[in-house]
């Protein structure tokens, strides 16, 4: 299978400009692997050459933690695993350069070809490249060995498995990249080798610079031509620039092309995610030696303190969710099918922006955000703890993230750290240093760091362009209503600050239900009712929506995910703050709350359908409707007593008297001649308290 590097889907024929070429080959390297999991004796051979038995056949992506990180607290394997592949490199590759490009390996890696070490990497989430040609035997069988190790270590971020698990293995695809001796660089932090910058972007004008890094693996200068072209979404040439030069073999050489565009078609988020293409070609005597195609979305981002987020000069709603990449029983070993599913749910809920937390995610998913119009935040896994030994690795992972993701128009900010504190002086210095690195690598994007204490004056704050704060009012702190005085105080005392609410919410175990709710819940309790999560989001979103001082907000989380070191809400190894369950099968009530508030699609939804066994005879019925005022019928009788809730889509029917036994509820809205309906059933058997029953059972039996 051959694909053009860094391009999603098939290559578009650029009619009248370029013919389709295959100068660079990118070949899938994901099949016919064998795997062996440790632990291994300390004197095990590095390349595992002598291990002839007990290999398991696998296809990449693969992780050895797909189950054990998700089902029992602290019972997962962290350590070494070996992958082996026998491959015959054909004779016609002899005069080429060969690279293996790994999109993600958890988390420290050594790569061997025929027993020789050809590359190492530290970090589970960024791509890396190993040049292998000098160790290959062409026309013969070659042994490729990859050693992966996901043991937490103090010099590699994240330094532990506390907030999320680092899945071990080659969990993203691997590619064999074949280039000519003169080529656009393949090993510049595993980037495309092409860097596109833009300035003075407006509806009238835009300036674009295309910088291309090239190298020459021969021993003499070679006369070449670099062609850079901008093509529109249909493949039609907009502008082209060519330059001739001699490419010397003395290190990487960089050449740039400048373009001035009149009346450009702008990338306007979900409304109009228009993409140009930049085609960079290296040509010798009319023959194309190499070609890279990158997306170009012309846009201007602005975060204005106290006013909000602006895209191309227009105020833009930042309806934000966060996403962890792992799936139930798959871990992080995902295909594009799983990525597409997650993005479809994010689009369906009406989100306009995504925080991809807490680490670099698949380049494929960033590319899809370019085409979908999602404004996104990309970050490195500098989270939770510092050791004093991660300085170099934090810089390495940020440099890799920026270079690999540089051309994605959807990315507006680089995330530096999340809830990292002691020692304060070291953390602040490291954050500032990584911020400086971001500005050196990419001066045109924002940076952000995140503090979980909500204290502007905390010593680890104010070292990035944007200050993020995680606040879980009613869950980890105070009452859910305390979000309002907090933001009002921030508005008054720190009007100059660019502030984002970067996490908020509450856990929800869909098996736990109650209609008897307070304004705070002890998260240390084993009882995590879905109804409390719903109540939290109903109130807190209404406050966020009224305060443009919060320039963007990101609910935590779009999906439940694995936390292998803790038990929460009577479930091992799980964070249940998601709007959807870990297996992606059930959308919680909170999902429909946000969809009704954010989406343009029609929503009519009654909450508490899983809270079927009612605790009170006199209760209330809540309906979300963005298509007009609903009528609700209980056992065929229309209810009265309706009132508006926190937002315009929120309707509450109070003092509803249930019948003993089964009760059928039906909500109806007729809009433009079309009837929309939602229906559910409740049962009433007498007054009770399900939380007290639950806690008593827990006390007696140890689990629910």
Round to whole Å and give the CA distance between 130 and 176. 10
Reduce the DSSP state of residue 300 to 3 states and report it.
coil
**Cis (ω within 30 of 0) for the bond into 39?**
yes
Per DSSP (E only), the strands in 248-373 are 253-262, 267-268, 272-273, 276-284, 287-296, 301-304, 308-311, 314-315, 319-323, 353-356
Round to whole Å and give the CA distance between 507 and 109. 35
Reduce the DSSP state of residue 8 to 3 states and report it.
coil
Structure-block tokens of residue 503: 């996490």
Round to whole Å and give the CA distance between 170 and 94. 27
Q: How big is the CA angle at 198 (ends 195 and 200), to the nearest 5 degrees? A: 165
Angle at which helices 530-545 and 483-493 pack, to 10 degrees? 30
Please say whether the beta carbons of 301 and 315 come within 8 A.
Answer: no
What counts of helices (H) and strands (E) characterise the chain?
Answer: 9, 42
Runs of H (alpha helix) within 546-642:
589-598
Q: How far from each other are the two terminal CA atoms of the chain, in whole angstroms? A: 50
Name residue, tokens 């960024």.
Answer: 126
Angle at which helices 424-441 and 391-405 pack, to 10 degrees? 30
Tell me the HSE value of 153 on the side-chain side, using a 13 A CA sphere.
16
Round to whole Å and give the CA distance between 311 and 557. 25
Task: Give the count of beta carbons closer than 10 Å to the beta carbon of residue 638.
Answer: 10
Whether 110 sits among the annotated catalytic residues: the reply is no
Catalytic one of 78, 227, 419, 530: 419
Strands 466-470 and 499-503: parallel
Round to whole Å and give the CA distance between 187 and 520. 52
Please say whether the beta carbons of 423 and 459 come within 8 A.
Answer: no
Question: Of 84, 81, 82, 80, whose CA–CA distance to 33 is shortest?
Answer: 84
Q: Name, in order, each residue with C-beta under 8 angstroms of 611's C-beta and a sequence gap of 6 or more.
A: 513, 514, 515, 530, 531, 682
What are the backbone angles phi and psi of residue 486, rounded to the nearest 5°?
-65, -50
Round to whole Å and give the CA distance between 463 and 524. 33
Round to whole Å and give the CA distance between 161 and 475. 22
Round to whole Å and give the CA distance between 61 and 103. 10
Please say whether the beta carbons of 230 and 208 come within 8 A.
Answer: yes
Q: Which residues are known to be catalytic?
A: 419
């Amino acid at each position: 299978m051959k694909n053009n590097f860094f391009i999603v889907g098939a290559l578009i024929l650029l009619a009248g400009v370029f013919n389709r070429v295959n100068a660079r080959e990118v070949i899938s390297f994901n099949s016919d692997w064998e795997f062996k999991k440790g632990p291994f004796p300390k004197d095990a051979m590095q390349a595992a050459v002598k291990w002839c038995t007990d290999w398991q056949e696998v296809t990449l992506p693969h992780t050895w933690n797909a189950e054990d990180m998700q089902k029992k607290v602290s019972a997962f394997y962290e350590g070494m695993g070996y992958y082996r592949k026998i491959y015959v490199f054909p004779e016609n590759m002899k005069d080429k350069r060969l690279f293996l490009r790994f999109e993600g390996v958890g988390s420290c890696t050594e790569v061997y070809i025929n027993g020789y070490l050809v590359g190492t990497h530290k970090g589970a989430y960024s791509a890396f490249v190993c040049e292998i040609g000098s160790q290959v035997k062409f026309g013969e069988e070659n042994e490729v060995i990859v050693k992966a190790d996901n043991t937490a270590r103090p010099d590699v971020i994240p330094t532990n498995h506390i907030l999320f698990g680092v899945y071990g293995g080659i969990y993203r695809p691997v590619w064999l990249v074949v280039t000519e001796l003169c080529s656009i660089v393949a090993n510049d932090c595993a980037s495309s080798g092409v860097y596109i910058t833009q300035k003075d972007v407006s509806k009238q004008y835009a300036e674009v610079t295309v910088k291309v890094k090239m190298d020459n693996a021969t021993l003499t200068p070679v006369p070449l031509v670099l062609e850079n072209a901008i093509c529109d979404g249909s493949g039609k040439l907009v502008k082209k620039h060519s330059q001739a030069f001699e490419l010397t073999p003395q290190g990487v050489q960089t050449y740039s092309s400048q373009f001035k565009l009149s009346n450009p078609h702008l990338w306007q988020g979900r409304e109009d995610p228009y993409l140009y293409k930049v085609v960079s070609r290296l040509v010798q005597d009319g023959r194309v030696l190499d070609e890279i195609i990158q997306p170009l979305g012309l846009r201007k981002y602005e975060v204005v303190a106290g006013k909000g987020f602006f895209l191309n000069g227009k105020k833009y709603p930042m309806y934000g969710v966060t996403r962890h990449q792992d799936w139930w029983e798959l871990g992080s070993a995902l295909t594009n099918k799983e990525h597409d599913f997650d993005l479809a749910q994010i689009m369906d809920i009406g989100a306009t922006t995504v925080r991809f937390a807490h680490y670099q995610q698949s380049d494929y998913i960033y590319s899809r955000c370019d085409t979908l119009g999602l404004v996104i935040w990309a970050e490195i896994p500098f989270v939770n703890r510092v050791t004093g030994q991660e300085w170099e690795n934090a810089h390495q992972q940020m440099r890799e993230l920026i270079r690999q993701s540089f051309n994605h128009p959807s990315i507006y900010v680089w995330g530096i750290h999340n809830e990292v504190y002691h020692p304060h002086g070291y953390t602040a210095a490291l954050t500032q240093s990584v911020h400086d690195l971001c500005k050196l690598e990419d001066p045109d994007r924002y940076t952000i760091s995140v503090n979980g204490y909500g204290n502007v004056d905390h010593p680890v704050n104010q070292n990035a362009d944007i200050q993020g704060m995680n606040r879980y009012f009613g869950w980890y702190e105070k009452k859910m209503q305390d979000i309002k005085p907090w933001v009002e105080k921030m508005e008054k005392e720190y009007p100059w600050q660019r502030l984002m609410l970067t996490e908020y919410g509450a856990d929800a175990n869909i098996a736990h239900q109650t209609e008897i709710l307070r304004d705070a819940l002890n998260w240390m309790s084993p009882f995590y009712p879905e109804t409390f999560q719903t109540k939290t989001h109903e109130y807190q979103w209404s406050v966020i929506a009224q305060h443009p001082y919060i320039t963007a907000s990101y609910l935590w989380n779009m999906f439940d995910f694995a936390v292998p070191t803790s038990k929460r809400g009577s479930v091992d190894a799980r964070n249940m703050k998601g709007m959807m369950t870990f297996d992606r099968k059930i959308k919680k009530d909170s999902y429909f709350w946000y969809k009704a508030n954010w989406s343009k699609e029609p929503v009519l939804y009654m909450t508490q359908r899983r809270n079927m066994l009612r605790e009170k005879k006199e209760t209330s019925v809540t309906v979300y409707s963005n298509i007009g005022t609903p009528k609700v019928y209980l056992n065929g009788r229309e209810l009265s007593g309706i009132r508006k809730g926190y937002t315009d889509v929120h309707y509450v029917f109070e003092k509803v008297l249930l019948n003993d036994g089964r009760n059928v509820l039906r909500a109806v809205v007729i809009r433009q001649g079309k009837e929309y309906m939602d229906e559910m059933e409740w049962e009433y058997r007498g007054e009770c308290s399900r939380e007290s029953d639950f806690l008593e059972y827990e006390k007696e039996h140890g689990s629910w």
